[in-house]
Amino acid sequence: MPEPLEQLEVAILGGGPGGYVAALEVARRGASVVLVEKENLGGTCLNVGCIPTKVLTTSAELLSRARRGAEFGLSIPQADVDLPGLMACKEKTVEQLVAGVEQLLRARRVRIVRGTGRLARPGLLDVELGGGRRESIAARHVVLAPGSVAARPPIEGLDLPGVVFSTGALQIDRVPERFAVIGGGVIGMEFACIYEALGSRVTVLEAARTILPAGVDETIAQRLQSLLRRRGIDIRVGIDVKAIEATSDGLRVLTQGPDGALVVEADRVLVATGRWPNTDNLGLEECRLSQSGRFIAVDDRLATSLPGVWSIGDAVGGWMLAHKAMVEGRIVAENLTGGSRRVDHRAVPNVIFTRPEVAGVGLTESDARAAGADVKVTQFAFSANAKSRILGERDGVVRLVCEAGSGRVLGVHMLGPHATDLIAEGSLAVQAGVTADELAWTTHAHPTLPEAMLEAALGFRGAAIHMHSR
Ligand SMILES: Cc1cc2nc3c(=O)[nH]c(=O)nc-3n(C[C@H](O)[C@H](O)[C@H](O)COP(=O)(O)OP(=O)(O)OC[C@H]3O[C@@H](n4cnc5c(N)ncnc54)[C@H](O)[C@@H]3O)c2cc1C
């Protein structure tokens, strides 16, 4: 017999996008919820991740467009960055959104406990409240949503002044003349584009063959790499970073590359070599909760190996993205209030806020071919899209990976203006199993960027309107 919802107690550890969404949704379903958070509500995403970085990418984009004012028939004599103003804008946006989350939680009567929690046993969280005070929270269900932290690679010199991880890179008191980024993944490339727009000379040091090696369509990663190199970002690939040293006027990054030793001088060095699940000191080993490496192991309903203990978000691995954590928050809320929903991450969009942006969903061409699918790839260049011309953003492409016979869309990958917004149509197409023909017969407004998606779909039958193909 399922328990009556009003008697069901749920304790959630971690108030990031996974944990706070789970709390809101459990409360909406009528159960009582306690949310334990040791820092700020909103977690990495709102405080030191998605939101502050996107304030910076937005201002960086505006700045670089303002500097191109003449192209748009505008006279903008001096477009420059006001760093204190930029930092204030970032902090205000974060504060407003964090306050909004707190209001929502209070409105749904979620009890917020400020403290550091650990699992004492299934059904019991131990919370250190500070000042030697503790609270034990008993609950029928416990949801672990502790998120992730920046990985610390085995490189000497990580603690030198001027060496920062992503949280440190968000604080900019002075634009460094030379900015080096260790790791050309999502976070590294977003910061590379931010600092480049602010005026730094940027060097990216990536171990793999291209930037954005994980989960991004290879042709798109290659195109972005060439574009950014043309814009002056010095991207070095196949690089093994050994150490960082202090010099009389800054820092020196010692590396080994395909052509031998390479030394990069910098004033600020960002270490962006991935994220680790934040699973230390949570009581997991003591409770014998199964892990998959450092991650918390869960089944497809997000249940852990212990009864009544669930886990979501970055801590369980897969795409380490806020929207993936949020959907898992909704799934777990449904499952612990009597439902039985399984995780379906086929259509989680991957979004990268570089300039231009990158986004993708579903299978890449190489994934699909490796899985034995007979695929046909159809693409359309943004240079042939009217709105891209109007925006002065002509670089980029939309690629649809379709099943060769049926035309079913298996994946959508794009580089270009507003790609992170445009990918929503791709997510729907992949999730709903839409075909290229169905997309092609969906009328898209003119002149808009989504027309690039329409034209790519038309291209499946060689029928693109605004591009000549033989
Ligand atoms: C620089 C950067 C930029 C990013 N940009 C994007 C983006 O544009 N789009 C996107 O989708 N994703 C982005 N991400 C990733 C996104 O932030 C994460 O995927 C998301 O925050 C994960 O949500 P979560 O709820 O699993 O964990 P988190 O957001 O990490 O939240 C976990 C919470 O748990 C708390 N906690 C941990 N341990 C305890 C404990 N023992 N007791 C009490 N509380 C605890 C933490 O304080 C934290 O508040 C970015 C990340 C970074 C670092």
The pLDDT value given to residue 1: 46
CATH of the domain at 430: 3.30.390.30
| Tokens standing for residue 276 | 């680790």
Which ligand 1 atom is nearest residue 41's CA? 49
- 321 CB less than 6 Å from ligand 1? yes
Which atom of ligand 1 is closest in space to residue 314's alpha carbon? 26
Q: Is residue 10 part of a domain?
A: yes
Domain holding 12, by residue range, is 5-150+276-335
Please check whether residue 319 lies inside any domain of the structure. Answer: yes
For the Cβ of 458 lying below 6 angstroms from any atom of ligand 1, the answer is no
Residues 234 and 327 in one domain: no
State whether the beta carbon of 316 lies less than 6 angstroms from ligand 1. no
Q: Is 279 in the pocket of ligand 1 (CB under 6 A)?
A: no
**Domain shared by 288 and 249, yes or no:** no
Residue 199 and residue 184 in one domain: yes
Distance of CA 424 to the CA centre of its chain: 15
Helix residue ranges, H only, 182-217: 186-198
Q: What is the DSSP letter of 71?
A: G
Chain-centroid distance of CA 303 in Å reads 24
- Looking at residue 5, its pLDDT comes to 59
Question: Residue 215: what pLDDT?
Answer: 86
Helices 83-107 and 17-28, packing angle to 10 deg = 30
Task: Tell me, in angstroms, the distance from the centre of ligand 1 to residue 181's CA.
Answer: 21
The answer to whether 13 and 278 have CB atoms below 8 angstroms apart is: no
Ligand 1 centroid to Cα of residue 345, in Å, is 18
> What is the C-alpha to C-alpha distance for residues 251 and 268, in angstroms, rounded to an integer?
7
How far away, in angstroms, is 247 Cα from ligand 1 center? 34
Indicate if 100 and 51 belong to the same structural domain.
yes
Please say whether the beta carbons of 365 and 411 come within 8 A.
yes
The CA–CA distances, whole Å, from 312 to 21, 78, 175, 325 equal 11, 47, 37, 6
Name the residue at shortest CA distance from atom 13 of ligand 1. Answer: 50
Give residue 1 CA to ligand 1 midpoint distance, Å: 35
Task: Determine the pLDDT at residue 467.
Answer: 86
- The atom of ligand 1 lying closest to the CA of 167 is 1
- The answer to whether residue 157 is domain-embedded is no
Of 12, 44, 321, the residue with max ligand 1 atoms within 8 A of its CB, to mutate for a pocket test, comes to: 44
Indicate whether 223 and 301 sit together in one domain.
Answer: no
> Which atom belonging to ligand 1 lies closest to the Cα atom of 319?
19
**117 C-beta closer than 6 A to ligand 1:** yes
45 CA distance to ligand 1 middle (Å): 5
> Which positions are catalytic?
446
Is 421 a domain residue?
yes
Model-level pTM greater than 0.85? yes
In a domain, 85, yes or no: yes
Say if residues 349 and 203 touch (Cβ distance below 8 Å): no
314 and 362 share one domain: no
How many domains does the chain contain in total?
3
Q: Is 329 in the pocket of ligand 1 (CB under 6 A)?
A: no
Ligand 1 near 183 CB (within 6 A)? no
What is the 457 CA–ligand 1 centroid distance (Å)? 36
Q: Whose CA is nearest to atom 34 of ligand 1?
A: 14
Do 17 and 138 reside in the same domain of the chain? Answer: yes
CA of 278 to the centre of ligand 1 (A): 9
Low-confidence ranges of the chain (pLDDT < 70): 1-8, 469-470
Residue type, 300: D
Q: Which atom of ligand 1 is nearest to the CA of 170?
A: 1
**Ligand 1 atom closest to Cα of residue 127:** 42
Q: Is the shortest distance between the CB of 320 and ligand 1 below 6 Å?
A: yes
Residue 347 resides in a domain: no
**Rounded distance between C-alpha atoms, residue 449 and residue 104, angstroms:** 34
Domain assignment present for residue 348? The answer is no
Whether 434 is covered by a domain: the verdict is yes
Is the same domain home to 195 and 291?
Answer: no
- pLDDT of 176: 98
Strand order in the sheet with 124-130: 116-121, 124-130, 133-138
Q: Is the CB of 407 inside a 6 Å radius of any atom of ligand 1?
A: no
Instruction: Specify which residues 265 forms β-bridges with.
Output: 252
